[in-house]
Amino acid sequence: MPELVDVEIVRRHLQRWTRGATIVDVDLDAGAHRLLRPGSPAAFRRTLLGRRVRGVSRRGKWMRIELDGGVRVFSHLGMTGDWVLRDRHAAPEPSEHARLSLRRGRVVTTVRYCDPRRFGRLVAARDDIDEWRELGPDPLNDGLDAQSLAASLASTRRPLKVALMDQTVLAGIGNIVATEALWVARLDPRMRSDAATTADVRALVRGLTVAIEREVAFGGEGDERFRVYGRAGEPCPRCEAKLAGIVLGGRTTALCPRCQA
């Protein structure tokens, strides 16, 4: 689920469910310790209990739940994380590892963090964590600036797709958006990042915009939203050539050998 658009959708839900409410209980299961990096169940619980939620912000794939007293809870969904709203008496969800009980007036609800693979993170802190501070511009929050992107790309020799997925270059770009954007831009994912011309960067900005808008239009759901991601071996939607599948930076990549040369 979680790339930039998916995380933004979760953020909106989480903010709607929690803003203005007070955390009256924190429950963590036996598997939650893996999510609290750094942290411990006891400290996490102690830090959150009794605090009111002021809002939820997001940069890239990180969310920041802002609480009274300057406390912040950072949430990363990893590969399979999600937050859901449930009645306080509802049974635990499959793969539910953390639960916040929230009181707004006399009504108590629960938001639950579910994550079967537990690659996600939950970090309570009084300052912004390094992972948050080091994030580059967020395409949804900050827009895309061709000049600064060009400067970032020029500073490294890695393959273009690897640089795009570097969260300090742009925050929130994952394997899906990177793959789709490069196809839209007709750029070879293997080309050296510092070899991108001004025209290439312009095409890339457009590709990213198109790919992100497509994610938004589909609500981050359904395989139909993918033009090339996961479609190696199928015909290119643009020129009908057979899409190639390669590995870059340890991630599978689909590309059209004809129009992304």
Q: Is the peptide bond before 92 cis (omega within 30 degrees of 0)?
A: no
**Residue 188 binding DNA, by CB under 7 A:** no
Query: Is 258 an active-site residue?
Result: no
What are φ and ψ of residue 44, in 5° steps? -60, -50
Site mask, DNA, residues 38-77, x = CB under 7 A? ----------------------xx--------------x-
CA distances from 174 to 47, 73, 180, 211 (A): 31, 23, 10, 11
Site mask, DNA, residues 125-164, x = CB under 7 A? ------x------------------------xxxx--x--
Can you say how many angstroms the Cα of residue 8 is from the centroid of all Cα atoms in its chain? 8
**Residue 117 binding DNA, by CB under 7 A:** yes
**Residue 251 binding DNA, by CB under 7 A:** yes
Query: Is 3 an active-site residue?
Result: yes
| Among the listed residues 182, 180, 184, 183, the one whose alpha carbon sits nearest the alpha carbon of residue 153 | 182
- With contact defined as beta carbons under 8 Å apart, do 234 and 161 qualify? no
Terminal alpha carbon distance of the chain: 30
Q: How many residues bind DNA (CB under 7 A)?
A: 36
CB of 3 to DNA, least distance (A): 5
Catalytic machinery residues: 2-3, 61, 251
Question: Can you give the binding site for DNA, defined by CB under 7 A?
Answer: 1-3, 6, 31, 34, 60-61, 76, 78-79, 94-95, 116-119, 131, 156-159, 162, 165, 167, 174-176, 220, 230, 247-252
